[in-house]
Amino acid sequence: MKKILLLILCISLFSAIETKGQINFKKLKNKVLKKETNKKTSSNNTKKTNTNSTPLLSTLNFSNKGREWYVSRNTGSGQLGTKERPAKDLGNIIHHLKPNDIIYIAEGIYMSKGKRGSDEINVPVKIYGGYDTSFTTRDPWNKHKTIFTGVNEYMKLTTPRLYIRTDQQREKNGQLSQGSEIIIDGIIFDNGPRNRYHKDKKLAIRRQASPKSGQNPSPESGGIVIVGSKFMNITVQNCVVMNTAPTEGAISVRVFKGGKALIQNNFCINNTGYGIQARTGYMGSDKTMIPQFFIKYNTVLFTWKHDAVASYGGSALALDKDLTVIAENNVFGFSHMGGIYSKGAVLTLNNNLFTGNTKYDYKEINSKMSVEDLLDESEKLNPYSQGNESALIKINVAEKWANIYASRIELSRADVDAAVSVSNSGANQLRSMLGLNLQGSSVKMDAEVFLPLITIEEALPAGLMPWNGKGSSIPK
């Protein structure tokens, strides 16, 4: 009997322990499931956050740390590119450059490899000019000028003087590289020696080559052209661009998805097309990914139309659609068309000076307006923009060049068309009988003064002193 009672007691105790164990297991299981749910929620929130922010790290191809290179026209030799044994020209070491390399360039006149007059780089790099030959002191607009130029010889390159394009770099899996940074700082770009001038008088450029005389056309390209990658930041500062004859920008920067650009303390003088051009490579709908531009303390003077009778070009600053732009403390003056031409960028304008522009101070798509009408008539301008003004200022350029510029004769397409007369030639009589358009007489369309050469010594004083805190100044 005792054995039976003991057996019953053991069975009951075991059942209770098993039941208690089951309850504890259920509680443990519930806790685990709760933690997993919280973990997944946290992970999803992190993913959402990352989607709307710029990645901190570059993709594999652009994650290289990079090395330092040194270039000196006066003391360089070979391709080691060290401080002790610098290279002689940037063009000589381009094939060695890796992502995120840093290049220091000493004073001197640089024409690229073989005097071809153009450098193209396909990885993100940082370039700093304006050093002395020992690379210990820096003064890019005065004592230690680093000048990028070339020569006008038949079959030389007519591409941009410095062209950096990284948007075609690919990772091993076939995806485009993204991230990293590009910096251009402290270089003077002078296309004067690359241009072809009418009768070699340096008064008017010509855009056609002359194989007979061994002359190239004037390069139809800018001084600095940069096309970045997604999530890449680009900086152009402390540079001078002059005597370029592009259709687009003397300084042209294209930023892609999630990227930013800083264009600061540059001096653009005597160029066709646009002095500064802000471009977009993003056409998506996510507003947080729209490229951002910060354009500050630049001076842009004497921006010409594409040619003497063109109706395009001739604005100090041009902005694409699908951009967010803040432009502050700039000087936009003496453009053949206008100060700013925006194709619909979301724009904030603060404390900019507009002076001497022929057609308008600000053009938004097809609407032209003066500074006084900006806040009243613009549809894209930030309503809190302030401090913009129009004023007469004295431009400190050489008197000789100023007199040449003032003597130019403005031509228009309408004037040229009106001057055409129809001859009564046999060819025109035949065309009339056949119902064809008659052929008019040829009319001279090239101006005698168009983008006349201005030297660095003549131009630079106008970019050294700001007007009431607006415009470029000596780099510090």
DSSP for 448-465, please give it: SSBS----HHHHTHHHHS
Convert 329-342 to b/e letters by CB count within 10 Å (16 or more is b): bbbbbbbbbbbbbb
Backbone angles phi, psi at 47, to 5 degrees: -60, -40
Question: pLDDT at residue 114 above 50?
Answer: yes
CA dihedral 78, 80, 83, 86 (to 10 degrees): 20
Query: 69-78, 100-109, 304-313: lowest mean pLDDT where?
Result: 304-313
Distance CA 297, CA 24 (A): 70
CATH fold, domain 60-390, is: Pectate Lyase C-like (2.160.20)
Q: Domain-by-domain residue ranges, the chain?
A: 60-390
Taking residues 143-149, what's their average pLDDT? 98
Query: How far is residue 63's CA from residue 155's CA, in Å, rounded to a whole number?
Result: 38
pTM for this model (two decimals): 0.83
Report pLDDT digits (tens) over 157-197: 999 999 999 999 998 888 899 999 999 999 999 999 999 99
Q: In the predicted model, is pLDDT for residue 311 greater than 70?
A: yes
- Mean pLDDT estimate for the chain: 85
Mean pLDDT score, 262-284 = 97
The answer to whether the beta carbons of residues 207 and 453 sit under 8 Å apart is no
8-state DSSP, 425: -
C-alpha 387/C-alpha 354 separation (Å) is 11
The mean per-residue pLDDT over the stretch 78-102 comes to: 98
Tokens for 279? 């471009």
Give the full edge-to-edge strand order of the sheet including 188-190. 108-110, 146-148, 188-190, 240-242, 267-272, 299-304, 331-333, 353-355, 389-390
* The pair of three-digit structure tokens given for residue 334, joined into one six-digit string: 């003496």
The DSSP result for 277-333, as a single string, is EEEE----S-GGGS-EEEEES-EEEEEEBSSTT-SSB-EEEEE-SS-EEEEES-EEE
Q: What is the pLDDT of residue 64?
A: 87
Measured between alpha carbons, how far is 267 from 281 in angstroms, rounded to an integer? 25
- pLDDT recorded at residue 55: 44
In this structure, the number of other CB atoms found within 10 A of the CB of residue 345 comes to 24
Predicted local distance difference test score (pLDDT) of residue 431: 52
Kindly state the average pLDDT of the residues 411-424.
48
| C-alpha–C-alpha distance, residues 146 and 110, integer Å | 8
Tokens of 35: 């933690």
Query: Would the pLDDT of 447 be above 80?
Result: no
